[in-house]
Amino acid sequence: MGGTALPACSHLPLATGIGLRAAHHERVSAERPKIAWLEVHTENFLGGGATPALLESLRDCYAISLHGVGLSLGSAGGLDEDHLSRIAALVKRIDPAAVSDHVSWSVTGGVYFNDLLPIPYDEEALGVIARNVMRFQEAIDRPVMVENPSTYLRHAQSDRAEPQFLAELCQRSGCGLLLDVNNVFVSTENHGDDARAYLAAVAHLPIGEIHLSGHHLCQIGNRSIRIDDHGSPVADQVWALYDHSLALIGPRPTLIEWDSALPPLEALLAEAGKAQIRLARIA
């Protein structure tokens, strides 16, 4: 089993958190449910007004994690400096316990796509994303985490497996890994790979946080594909893979992510409770 000490990229409590979405802002603000930490999508809090103020008001009760979805770390043209400066201002204002984004791209030629698109796993892409991650860290003056993606097709030019790519990215840039266990399950099932072998290959990396979420199985032509939609409870197979992850790396701050078909707050907290029981067994 790995140690319990968290890497420098995370100052979150060794407990479960939930993703805070707009539908639950009012209740969480008024009722302050018993949960250790909250994670929000960074881009939803970059303006003025009520939303950043909400995070400031919640800091006394909860550790806050900023999870970006729009920085496009895999873009060959580099990062949008205006976007980056707004993130840096929010980090300074909120002083979050963790900051993260994705191993993906979503911007080209000034056009933003409403998705987190996969990058090839080769030397050129590694150089691009490593430079962008280092620029990100320089701008906010702290190490960040990057999240492994859910994938459905492979790039023909990829010359290394995803765990090796992530390991090289962490080594080159000094970032940590946000291990999304649902994404590991979805991707390995879609590609016919071994999820436990994947976890063994990344267990030594500086993992500062774990994500759990739901997905659904659909049929496209003659192919069954698992789609990472964050719209349902965590699947039994993903819970089993989470247990295996904890056995490999030790306890890690764990988030329940739920973004579509959002349930009542009580259901979200109940999912977090399931993860907390598992964490407590090995803490």
pLDDT digits (tens, 9 = 90+) for 248-261: 999 999 999 999 88
Q: Which two tokens stand for residue 276?
A: 């907390």
Q: What is the pLDDT of residue 226?
A: 79
Task: Note whether residue 10 is domain-resident.
Answer: no
Q: What is the pLDDT of residue 4?
A: 63
Task: Note whether residue 144 is domain-resident.
Answer: yes
CA distances from 149 to 13, 102, 118, 180 (A): 24, 7, 7, 8
CA dist 236 and 151 (Å) reads: 20
State how many domains the chain has.
1
Residue 65 structural domain: 16-282
User: What residues are paired with 210 via a beta bridge?
Assistant: 179, 254
Task: Note whether residue 109 is domain-resident.
Answer: yes
Q: What is the pLDDT of residue 215?
A: 85
| pTM of this prediction exceeds 0.85 | yes
The domain spanning residue 277 has which CATH number?
A: 3.20.20.150
Task: Note whether residue 148 is domain-resident.
Answer: yes
Q: Which two tokens stand for residue 197?
A: 């072998």
Regions in the chain scoring below 70 on pLDDT: 1-4, 111, 113
Q: Which is nearest to 81 in space by CA: 57, 107, 56, 100?
A: 107
Strands 216-220 and 223-227: antiparallel
